[in-house]
Structure formats: structure tokens, C-alpha cells
């Protein structure tokens, strides 16, 4: 039986009229016109980069692959991270000794004394929220030791989440005498564990001093001993970032000046790199991390090397003589600023100097005689006020006197607007600043509303570095925000404005970069990791799509003769790539409606009929990626076909970001 729909003739006619009207409306939309031969400006090779800070266990416990927490007993509580197992009574079996007068960078060590051959004595390290262990992988253990006489033996047990042994080794410590020695042993894990631990058992009798106890997986990035987690570096390499900013962030400023980042203390032998407390250890009461310290195993040499590995320009940021203004606001008196300025000058020599210079020689001694080609540096992170200006002036004068072409990145403070920002923006431009660093942690609607922010910025004078930004779905730093598609699609829309204004915006980076699922302080973040896995958020894929498709020159993309920055909730920008001979159009539909537009390319010879279309999107704004579904929101590439000469018809799904590549 045919069921009647309940529509009478009148209804059918009305429905047809509505459909036809919609069709006519879609058909009547003027096209988006891309003017491929009107080169507006170059896109800098540095345009899209990454911001690295040791926040959220990004370095220690994160990309720095060391598995032993508190390897040199320098945490505030010297045995933090170590559990002692001792089944006999002897108060002095384990002692922490401090040789501060003799060894300032690494004063403490552990003295183990076992008087009788019987009894069990062991220490177990819990790792950074456990140790990620992979079945079949080699693990490299090492330590420094000193013993008056032989007698004590060391054996290792790698334990899984259930305390089952999944790897064993014996450490040979044959040397005796007063000097420190090194011992090392490698072994293979027989099983995987997400929260493994390492136990060191002492048998026999005697006494031994231990320091710098270390365990690294063999599968570090480029197989470098003592290196970085390969999966995390790969995520950066996959973005092909134009620059890498390091080491922060607020970490540069320090809670107070004694806790500021000092690059000279992060190079050379590991046991000479003086550990300090990480400022994110206690910054947020709701996310306290009492075991968060900076060992500087990942130091400035390694940052430069990382930059080189992933083809990114290095962008170090140095302390300008001011501690964090959210915290102590300590200032270095102006007449005592010289050592800070000297640090900046020496850093340029460390990176670029000939191997015969004082600092170039140190770089060469670390294994890199060739220069790192440093061309820019930030002075101060989120510093502000006249106190910043007067310190910055002294840095600029000294650096430009010695290196006139060297570029200095300057701070515009904590916010992208308001009196503080206006003051600095005026002062910095009067000082003829090279690059102004603007930060915007804002909700998604701010990003949508600000896609035209740089359209009116002066084209001459200071260039812009969008040095830290992220869409926050609600207020800043409440610990609940997720990297959802709502934030990412708004960032994608805003970035059309950065791209359109590449004449003035020379660099931009999302922040923060990494977060450990069990050790974060700040959300949202670009890439999430646990001890074994890592995944990119929807925002990561937005960043990656821009970076991989940055082109060489901006060209106009116009609708009704105007830049597309929110009309009908559409955001569009276009570049040409003169190397790959492509026209690349980015289209963001920030509305809940499907929208169709013709895109017409003018000023190009006949284009290839096949067009590559990469889309990123989700049906709901609340979609996220996760360890279980790392690619729930991730780019999908397909081909579409031109519908006429240099013309295509594109239908943008609700809340979508698309990259169209047309071959010239
Ligand atoms: O990215 C997190 C923090 O945000 C940075 O350390 C700081 O520069 C900003 O306030």
C-alpha cells in the first residue's frame, strides 16, 4: 500500500518554491575571486612555527627521554621519586651527602652502606608518573659511582605496572678509590608497561656513593644516546615548522630572578647543568606538581640541534632582567644589567661564532663546529611597563652595536589590547623594534571577530610575531578546557587573517605545545602525550595544514571585491607557491550551515582540471582527539574537478576548514 505523505498540492508547490529559492540563492552568490597574478607580499619562511616550553611536563618527563626522576638527588626533597626497601635496622644505610663547596651545580649524592652481607636493601625509582617501557626495546642504564673497596654489587630490575620483573641486568662497578667512575649496562625489556619502575638492589657488604642514575630507551630521536622521545619530535617534524621558539614562556622570567632561565647553565656536561625548580611546580594550586624540576638535560645546545633537525629557525628568548610580573616582579637594577646583556651577546657567539671564539669553541666541543645560523632572539617574555622599555633599550643598543642585522623580538605584554598593550605598542614602534610579540589566549569568538586584526596594521616598521595563542572554550586556566573543534575552527579562521597579512605578520605559534596527560598544568595544548603515546589535537592539524601549505606569496581572495573575514561566517585566504606552481586557497566555514561558493582563479594560465582538496572538520564543535581516537578530527584529502575554466564549485560543510590546491 502506498502511504500518503499528508502533503496536499499547495504544500508541494510551497516546498518546491522554497527549494528553488534556495537553489537560486546559492546560484546567485557571486564567486570568490582569487587573483593569482597579484602578489600582495611574500610569505616568510618563518611564518608558521612552534613554541616550546617546559610546562605540562613538556621537557623533563616529556620530550627529554630520561626515565629516572631525580637522578642526581637534587630535588628539594632529595629522595623524592625513590622508594627505599630495607629489611634490617641501620639508620645510616642510605645517606644523602652534600658537597656544595666542592660541586655547586650537582652537590648531592647518595651513599649506600651495607654492613652485613645478609638483608635486603634496594631503591626503586618511580619515573615521571611511571616509566613507559616497550617490549623488545633496549634500555641503557648508567650511573656515576665511587667506592673505597669492592664488596657491594648492584643489580637492576625493571618492573611493570603489577610489579612483575620485565628486565634485569647486573651493573659492573670494578673501580675502587677516591675518584668518581662511570658504569653502564644495557638490557632488553621482555614486556611493555605504561607505568614501569626501576629497582636497584644492593647485595654483599660495603659502601658506595652513587650519582647521576640514568635510564634511557634506545629508540630516541635519531638514536642519540641521552636524547629525545622520537614520537614527540616526529610530531614537530611533521609540521615542518618555520621556527622553534624556546625555552618559553614564563619559564624564561622565573618566579623570581634566582629561578630565571640561564642558558649558560644548560650546556656542557650533564652533571654540570645546575637543576632548578620548575616554576610550574607550584604556579597553580589546583595542579600542583611538587616533583617538577628542570634538569636541563634538554638545554640550549639540544634546542639548537632540535631546530636544525626539523628545519626550523631557532628563536631563543632570554630574560631581560625582570622576573615574572604575575609573581615577584623582581627587577635587576639598570646599572647591574650588564651580565644579562652579556648573556645575550655570548649566546649569539655560542650559536654562530667561529670555533676559535670563546663560546663557539664550547659549541664545537659539544659536537657542532658548524654554526647554528641564529638570526633572531627574544628579549623578555611577557614583560611590560616602562621598566621593560628601559631594560630593552640597553639590550637593543648593545646587540645592534655588535650585530647590526640581528633581529630582536620584543614583548607587548600579556594581552593583545588594553592600556599596557597600547603603551608598549607605541613605545616599541618609536624605538624601531624589529618584531613585536603579541599573545592572545582568548575564547573562540574573539578569534572569529579578530580575523581582520592586522588589516589595518602599518606595513612599514615593526613586524608581528603572534608568539602565543590558543582558542580557549571558556575562561583562561580553569583546567577543564579541552582542545575541541570549536577552538580549532576559530583558530583556523583567525589564521586566514594572519596569512592575508603576511606582509606584517612574519611569525606565529600556538601555545603551549606539549602536555602530559598525568602531569599538565595548563590547557588547552597542541599535542598530548602519556608515557607511551602522543596525539595531535584538532588545533595541531590546523597548524600543520597552514605550515605545510604556506606558499611563497599572498594573493587576494575576494568576495564582492572584499577580503573574506566573516561574511556569512566564511573566512578565506589564498597564497601561491612559486616553487610547486600551486595556488592554495584556505576556506573556513564557521557556521552551522552548508555553504556553496564558486571559486574563480583569475590571472593564471589554464589550471590542471584536478584539484586537491584537504578538509578538516567535525559535525559537532565539541569533538576532540584522544589516545583512543587520535585521529577523530584529522585531515582527509581527496580530488575534485574544475567545473569550468579556472573555476570550481566548492561546498563547505558546517564548521569546516578546507585547503584547495590548484596546479598551475
Ligand atoms: O603558554 C603558557 C604561558 O602563557 C606562557 O608561559 C606565558 O608566556 C603565557 O602567559
Question: What CATH code is carried by the domain that includes residue 100?
Answer: 2.60.120.260
For residue 252, the CA-to-ligand 1 centroid distance in Å is 10
User: Could you write out the DSSP letters of every residue in 631-642?
Assistant: TSS--EEEEEE-
Question: Is residue 459 in some structural domain?
Answer: yes
Q: Are residues 256 and 202 in the same domain?
A: no
For residue 459, the CA-to-ligand 1 centroid distance in Å is 28
| Number of domain units in the chain | 4
Q: Are residues 235 and 161 in the same domain?
A: no
- Side-chain half-sphere CA neighbours of 536 within 13 A: 23
Give the residue ranges of DSSP H helices in 29-113: none
Question: Is residue 652 in some structural domain?
Answer: yes
| 515 CB within 6 A, ligand 1 | no
Calpha distance 556→572 (Å, rounded): 10
For residue 247, the CA-to-ligand 1 centroid distance in Å is 11
Question: Is residue 590 in some structural domain?
Answer: yes
Q: Are residues 360 and 291 in the same domain?
A: yes
- Residue ranges in the chain whose pLDDT is less than 70: 1-28, 474-481
What's the confidence (pLDDT) of residue 473?
79
The range of the structural domain enclosing residue 7 comes to: 1-30
CB-CB neighbours of 182 under 10 Å = 11
Question: What CATH code is carried by the domain that includes residue 243?
Answer: 3.20.20.80
| 51 CB within 6 A, ligand 1 | no
Calpha distance 493→485 (Å, rounded): 12
Q: Are residues 602 and 625 in the same domain?
A: yes
Q: Which atom of ligand 1 is nearest to the CA of 470?
A: 1
Structure confidence by residue, pLDDT tens digits, 116-138? 999 999 999 999 999 999 999 99
| 512 CB within 6 A, ligand 1 | yes
Residue at which a domain ends, from 201, 217, 233: 217
Asked whether the beta carbons of 507 and 523 are under 8 A apart, the reply is no
Mutation pick for ligand 1 pocket among 421, 466, 468, 479 (CB with most ligand atoms within 8 Å): 468
Q: Are residues 568 and 505 in the same domain?
A: no
- Atom 5 of ligand 1, residue of closest alpha carbon: 249
Beta bridge partners of 527: 514, 536
Pick from 470, 468, 467: which is nearest to 488 by CA? 470
Q: Are residues 475 and 614 in the same domain?
A: no
| 320 CB within 6 A, ligand 1 | no
3-state secondary structure of 428: helix
What's the confidence (pLDDT) of residue 481?
67
Q: Which atom of ligand 1 is nearest to the CA of 522?
A: 2
Q: Which atom of ligand 1 is nearest to the CA of 441?
A: 4
Question: Is residue 470 in some structural domain?
Answer: yes
Q: Which of 74, 382, 468, 491 is catalytic?
A: 382
Question: Is residue 74 in some structural domain?
Answer: no
Helix or strand run (H / E) with residue 302:
helix 300-309
Q: Are residues 651 and 589 in the same domain?
A: yes
Question: Is residue 135 in some structural domain?
Answer: yes
Q: Are residues 38 and 18 in the same domain?
A: no
For residue 451, the CA-to-ligand 1 centroid distance in Å is 22
What's the confidence (pLDDT) of residue 101?
86
Cβ-proximal residues to 167 (8 Å cutoff; 6+ apart), any chain: 133, 139, 156, 157, 158, 187, 188, 189, 190
What's the confidence (pLDDT) of residue 474?
64
Calpha distance 661→160 (Å, rounded): 49
Question: Is residue 58 in some structural domain?
Answer: yes
Q: Are residues 212 and 240 in the same domain?
A: no
Mutation pick for ligand 1 pocket among 522, 527, 539 (CB with most ligand atoms within 8 Å): 522
Catalogue the E-assigned strands of 367-522: 376-379, 407-411, 435-442, 463-471, 505-510, 514-516
- For 523, the grid coordinates are 590547557
Calpha distance 321→496 (Å, rounded): 36
- Helices 338-352 & 300-309 angle (0-180, nearest 10): 40
Question: What CATH code is carried by the domain that includes residue 638?
Answer: 2.60.40.1180
Calpha distance 494→83 (Å, rounded): 50
Calpha distance 353→341 (Å, rounded): 17
For residue 581, the CA-to-ligand 1 centroid distance in Å is 38
Q: Which residues of 242-257 are buried (b: 16+ CB within 10 A; e: fewer)?
A: bbbbbbbbbbbbbbeb
- Side-chain half-sphere CA neighbours of 144 within 13 A: 15
| 254 CB within 6 A, ligand 1 | no
Asked whether the beta carbons of 165 and 204 are under 8 A apart, the reply is no
Mutation pick for ligand 1 pocket among 254, 259, 284, 382 (CB with most ligand atoms within 8 Å): 382
Cβ-proximal residues to 12 (8 Å cutoff; 6+ apart), any chain: none
- Side-chain half-sphere CA neighbours of 660 within 13 A: 34
Question: Is residue 465 in some structural domain?
Answer: yes
What's the confidence (pLDDT) of residue 304?
99
- For 344, the grid coordinates are 645575550
Is the bond leading into 536 cis (omega within 30 degrees of zero)?
Answer: no
| 514 CB within 6 A, ligand 1 | no
DSSP-derived secondary structure letter, 603: S
619 is catalytic: no
Q: Are residues 241 and 340 in the same domain?
A: yes
What's the confidence (pLDDT) of residue 21?
39
Taking the whole predicted model, whether its pTM rises above 0.85 is answered as yes
Amino acid at each position: 500500500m502506498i502511504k500518503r505523505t499528508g502533503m496536499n498540492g499547495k504544500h508541494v508547490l510551497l516546498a518546491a518554491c522554497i527549494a528553488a529559492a534556495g537553489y537560486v540563492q546559492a546560484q546567485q552568490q557571486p564567486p570568490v575571486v582569487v587573483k593569482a597574478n597579484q602578489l600582495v607580499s611574500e610569505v616568510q619562511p618563518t611564518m608558521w612555527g612552534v613554541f616550546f616550553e617546559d610546562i605540562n611536563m613538556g621537557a623533563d618527563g616529556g620530550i627529554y627521554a630520561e626515565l629516572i626522576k631525580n637522578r642526581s638527588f637534587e630535588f628539594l626533597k632529595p629522595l623524592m621519586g625513590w622508594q627505599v626497601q630495607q629489611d634490617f635496622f641501620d639508620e645510616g644505610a642510605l645517606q644523602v651527602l652534600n658537597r656544595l663547596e666542592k660541586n655547586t651545580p650537582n652537590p648531592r649524592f647518595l651513599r649506600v652502606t651495607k654492613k652485613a652481607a645478609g638483608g635486603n636493601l634496594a631503591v626503586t625509582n618511580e619515573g615521571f608518573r611511571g616509566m613507559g617501557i616497550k617490549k623488545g626495546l633496549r634500555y641503557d642504564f648508567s650511573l656515576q659511582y665511587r667506592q673505597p673497596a669492592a664488596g657491594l654489587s648492584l643489580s637492576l630490575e625493571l618492573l611493570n605496572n603489577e610489579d612483575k620483573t620485565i628486565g634485569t641486568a647486573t651493573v659492573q662497578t670494578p673501580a675502587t678509590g677516591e675518584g668518581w667512575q662511570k658504569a653502564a649496562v644495557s638490557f632488553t625489556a621482555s614486556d611493555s608497561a605504561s607505568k614501569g619502575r626501576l629497582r636497584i638492589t644492593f647485595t654483599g657488604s660495603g659502601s658506595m656513593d652513587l650519582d647521576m642514575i640514568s635510564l634511557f630507551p634506545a629508540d630516541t630521536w635519531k638514536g642519540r644516546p641521552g636524547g629525545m622521545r622520537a614520537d614527540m619530535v616526529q610530531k614537530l617534524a611533521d609540521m615542518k615548522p618555520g621556527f622553534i621558539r624556546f625555552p618559553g614562556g614564563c619559564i624564561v622570567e622565573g618566579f623570581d630572578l634566582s629561578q630565571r632561565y640561564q642558558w649558560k647553565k644548560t650546556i656542557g656536561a650533564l652533571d654540570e647543568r645546575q637543576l632548578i625548580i620548575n616554576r610550574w611546580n607550584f604556579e597553580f594550586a589546583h595542579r600542583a606538581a611538587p616533583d617538577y624540576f628542570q634538569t636541563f638535560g634538554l638545554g640550549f645546545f639540544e634546542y639548537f640541534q632540535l631546530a636544525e633537525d626539523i628545519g626550523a629557525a631557532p628563536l631563543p628568548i632570554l630574560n631581560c632582567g625582570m622576573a615574572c610580573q604575575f609573581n615577584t616582579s623582581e627587577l635587576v637594577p639598570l646599572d647591574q644589567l650588564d651580565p644579562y646583556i652579556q648573556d645575550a651577546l655570548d649566546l649569539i657567539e655560542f650559536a654562530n661564532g667561529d670555533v676559535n671564539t670563546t663560546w663557539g669553541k664550547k659549541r664545537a666541543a659539544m659536537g657542532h663546529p658548524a654554526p647554528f645560523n641564529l638570526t633572531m632572539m627574544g628579549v623578555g617574555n611577557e614583560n611590560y611597563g616602562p621598566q621593560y622599555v628601559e631594560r630593552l633599550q640597553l639590550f637593543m643598543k648593545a646587540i645592534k652595536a655588535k650585530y647590526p642585522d640581528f633581529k630582536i623580538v620584543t614583548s607587548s605584554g600579556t594581552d593583545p589590547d588594553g592600556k599596557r598593550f597600547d603603551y608598549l605598542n607605541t613605545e616599541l614602534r618609536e624605538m624601531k623594534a624589529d618584531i613585536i610579540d603579541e599573545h592572545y589566549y582568548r575564547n573562540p569568538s574573539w578569534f572569529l571577530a579578530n580575523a581582520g586584526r592586522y588589516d589595518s596594521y602599518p606595513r612599514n616598521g615593526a613586524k608581528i610575531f603572534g608568539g602565543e595563542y590558543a582558542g580557549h572554550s571558556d575562561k583562561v586556566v580553569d583546567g577543564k578546557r579541552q582542545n575541541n573543534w570549536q577552538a580549532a575552527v576559530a583558530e583556523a579562521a583567525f589564521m586566514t587573517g594572519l596569512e592575508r597579512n603576511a606582509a606584517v605578520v612574519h611569525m606565529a605559534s600556538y601555545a603551549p605545545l606539549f602536555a602530559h596527560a598525568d602531569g599538565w598544568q595548563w590547557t588547552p595544548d597542541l599535542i598530548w602525550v602519556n608515557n607511551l603515546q602522543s596525539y595531535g589535537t584538532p588545533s595541531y592539524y590546523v597548524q600543520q595544514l597552514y605550515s605545510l601549505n604556506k606558499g611563497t606569496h599572498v594573493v587576494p581572495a575576494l568576495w564582492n571585491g572584499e577580503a573574506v573575514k566573516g561574511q556569512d561566517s566564511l573566512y578565506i585566504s589564498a597564497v601561491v607557491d612559486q616553487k610547486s606552481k600551486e595556488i592554495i586557497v584556505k576556506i573556513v566555514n564557521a557556521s552551522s550551515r552548508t555553504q556553496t561558493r564558486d571559486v574563480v582563479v583569475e590571472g593564471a594560465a589554464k589550471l590542471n582540471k584536478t584539484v586537491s582538496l584537504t578538509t578538516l572538520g567535525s559535525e559537532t564543535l565539541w569533538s576532540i582527539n584522544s589516545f583512543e581516537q587520535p585521529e577523530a578530527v584529522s585531515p582527509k584529502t581527496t580530488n575534485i574537478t574544475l567545473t569550468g575554466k579556472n573555476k570550481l564549485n566548492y561546498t563547505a560543510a558546517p564548521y569546516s576548514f578546507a585547503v584547495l590546491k590548484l596546479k598551475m
